[in-house]
Each structure stands twice: as C-alpha cells, then as structure tokens.
Amino acid sequence: MAAHLRFDAKTGMVEARTAYGEHTKELLQLNDDAVVQYRLGTLKTVRLYSIEIDQLDRQLKALAGQLRAGKISQAQYEAEEQDINQNLADLLHTLQSHTGQLSLPPLRKKLLGITLIKP
C-alpha cells in the first residue's frame, strides 16, 4: 500500500502516489474532513502523551535525587515512585494504542456457535 498512498502528518491527509492510490483514496474517502480531523487530533494526542511521559521520567529522576540527598525518606520515595510508575504505565499503554504499537487481540475462534477460524 505504501507504493500507492502516502500519509502527510502535517496536514493529516493521505496523498495518492499512483492511479491505484487515487482510486483507493476516493473509494474509501480517506480525506473526508472528519477523518482528517480525527487523524490530526490523534497526532496531537500522541505529542501530548509523549510530553507528559517525558515529564514523569524527569520527576522520577528528581525523586531519586531527593532520596540520595536525604530530603525524603525511603517510604516517601517508594510511595511517590509507585504513583509515578502507575501513571507512566497508563500513559504508555494509551500512547501505544494510539500509535499502533499494541498487538491486536487474537480473533475469536467462534462467535454465537459459528466457527470463524478453523483449528
């Protein structure tokens, strides 16, 4: 498909590279206003999540520095670290789902008693 279509992250639009690409773009309405706005929103979401993840990483490093300097106790460090790591895990999961890095769940073998995938 890459030979026929190209995604422009600045505009959120899909550009045709061949006649087949042009046909596909029109057939699937790949540059419909709502679809383009959704893509741009997703790209912005990815950027914002990346910024938030970087900030949490910096917080973890600063927290470790406070522990080394004796400004906080081990218990305070562990409680705060756990909270930051949970936030990081949630953000990373969401980021990965928006960027397509998460594996898709396996297809069901049966649905309503109908075999969808033969063993």
Is a pLDDT exceeding 80 seen at residue 3? Answer: yes
Q: What are the residue ranges of helices labelled H in 33-111?
A: 33-68, 74-99
Residues 25-33 have a mean pLDDT of 96
What pLDDT band is residue 69 in, cutting at 50, 70 and 90?
very high
39 vs 33: CA distance, rounded Å: 10
Would you list the domain boundaries of the chain? 1-31, 33-99
Rounded to whole angstroms, the Cα distance separating 90 from 34 reads 27
118 has a pLDDT exceeding 80: no
Checking if the pLDDT of 13 tops 80, the result is yes
Q: How confident is the model at residue 108 (pLDDT cuts 50, 70, 90)?
A: confident
Average pLDDT over residues 94-116: 88
pLDDT band at 12 (very low <50, low <70, confident <90, very high): very high
**Averaged confidence pLDDT in the chain:** 94
